[in-house]
Structure 1
């Protein structure tokens, strides 16, 4: 298992350092005893050069190639060369934004320090994601689960590097969302659902009879990656959430799909909705 770290930068000094040092930039205490502090997950380090015309789609095309190599996690380290990177790809990759080193600064020391903090916080997130009772929370369809806690969770995980109390903040939010889990009042079944502010009930089902569409077009790289990764961690993407309402009322409202488009629910008793909001 490998955590792939990609430095996204237009800074020639950073790119040169990462290209030549690679995994040597990972602090020794993290690499010690076969990455014991990361539960044995190795770290690979690479660089992606941001050119004047580089945008999100060019970066995602590169990261698609990276994903084909089989990493179990993707951590991006960005110096801000691509604006709004956390908002653009932070739902599926771990994005960590740092300030470019000043001229004459000891670049290697700075890069090692930000990488160490990012990996420390990401390790905590990985620990929670590996726990199935929390993974089903972290895999909720982010566009359609209406709750302030989801907005706060996205903001926190979009830049793990920016938090000095990441683990405490993450656990607080997970606890708040978990408190929303309950059975339906009008059902005798013991199944529990996560209930949002609009009374939509979400349950990650064991069945795999429905599959998220991956054809391009109409889907984009972001659609497909969004059903493979959540805040940096790989997941299987075959299971979907059963989304319904109390008393099996028809799902006749409008919902946001993986293209950020508003669509009718179709008047069915429940929706098969994937983590990337495809339904």
Structure 2
């Protein structure tokens, strides 16, 4: 859990107290199996800090962890926007947190952890994990956009868990085998009539060089909505007809338009939209 604030006094308090800043029952409110515990960090934003500085900090501090939760000072929505797909993000008022940290954070975290726990449980089930991992930039579907927008909202909608479940159901409804294939492989089909299959292969690896990638590419290659996932599994992307070459334009993990390789019958695309 990373507290992001411009309030130096509160940020220093978090840095000093660390896990002690949280309510005593914070770990128990994260109702996951096996039981989990938080490691607490503080990021005090200065005027010179850029969004990429925070993302670089998150990449390093998230190593060895199964999730990333951001507690963000209200007003810093733009500063954390590039991390919203990867990190579960909740907002707080730094002045109230500084004046009465334990009581205030107890109230704020009560709902936040309830929602975060529900998200983690969705990732434990492959039937809901797969649609939640569809590549955001390239899989064109209203339900995927609605799910993403719900996580990006401030405040999150009171019915966000129901919204996520409806979106998962809608995305699962797009699943179908290819009509032109004799195999029973099932694909998610987007509004461009492209077919996405979550593959079992582990022959590709996401690139980690910065540049050409940004630190948000690295973060998104490991986390979605605050939950870690298998970084070496990817989607196989193909067209509707058997032996049809993949055509068109795609956006990679750092928003650059790219074309599929020539003579490609499918593309390897990670949840982060990185194309291998």
> TM-score normalized by structure 1?
0.89
Contact 1:95 1:159 in 2 (8 A): no
Contact 2:26 2:109 in 1 (8 A): no
Contact 2:72 2:91 in 1 (8 A): yes
Instruction: State the alpha-carbon separation in 1 of the partners of residues 5 and 223 from structure 2.
Output: 22
Instruction: State the alpha-carbon separation in 2 of the partners of residues 146 and 52 from structure 1.
Output: 37
Instruction: State the alpha-carbon separation in 2 of the partners of residues 104 and 217 from structure 1.
Output: 38
Instruction: State the alpha-carbon separation in 2 of the partners of residues 273 and 104 from structure 1.
Output: 44
Shift of 1:28: 3.4
Displaced runs of 4 or more, over 6 A: none
Alignment partner of 1:201 is 2:188 = no
Unaligned runs of 5+ in 1: none
SS of 1:38's equivalent in the other structure is coil
Residue 129 of structure 1 aligns with which residue? Answer: 123
Distance 1:180 1:159, change over 3 A: same
Residue 48 of structure 2 aligns with which residue? Answer: 53
Instruction: State the alpha-carbon separation in 2 of the partners of residues 126 and 273 from structure 1.
Output: 23
Could you list the per-position Cα deviations for residues 134-164 of structure 1 after superposition, in whole angstroms to 9, with x for gaps in the alignment? 1111111110000111111111123586232
Distance 1:270 1:194, change over 3 A: same
Instruction: State the alpha-carbon separation in 2 of the partners of residues 103 and 94 from structure 1.
Output: 19
SS of 1:37's equivalent in the other structure is coil
SS of 2:11's equivalent in the other structure is helix
- Which stretch has the larger CA shift, 85-94 or 201-210? 85-94
- What's the RMSD between the two structures over aligned residues? 2.2
Residue 109 of structure 1 aligns with which residue? Answer: 103
Contact 1:77 1:97 in 2 (8 A): yes
SS of 1:194's equivalent in the other structure is strand
- Match among 134, 149, 158 for residue 155 of structure 1: 149
Instruction: State the alpha-carbon separation in 1 of the partners of residues 104 and 225 from structure 2.
Output: 24
Alignment partner of 1:261 is 2:240 = no
- Report which of the two has the higher share of strand: 1
Shift of 1:30: 3.7
- Which stretch has the larger CA shift, 144-153 or 36-45? 36-45
Alignment partner of 1:190 is 2:184 = yes
SS of 1:78's equivalent in the other structure is strand
SS of 1:174's equivalent in the other structure is helix
Alignment partner of 1:21 is 2:17 = yes
Alignment partner of 1:6 is 2:13 = no
- Which stretch has the larger CA shift, 17-26 or 207-216? 17-26
Instruction: State the alpha-carbon separation in 2 of the partners of residues 98 and 138 from structure 1.
Output: 26
Shift of 1:114: 1.6
- Which stretch has the larger CA shift, 57-66 or 13-22? 13-22
SS of 2:68's equivalent in the other structure is strand
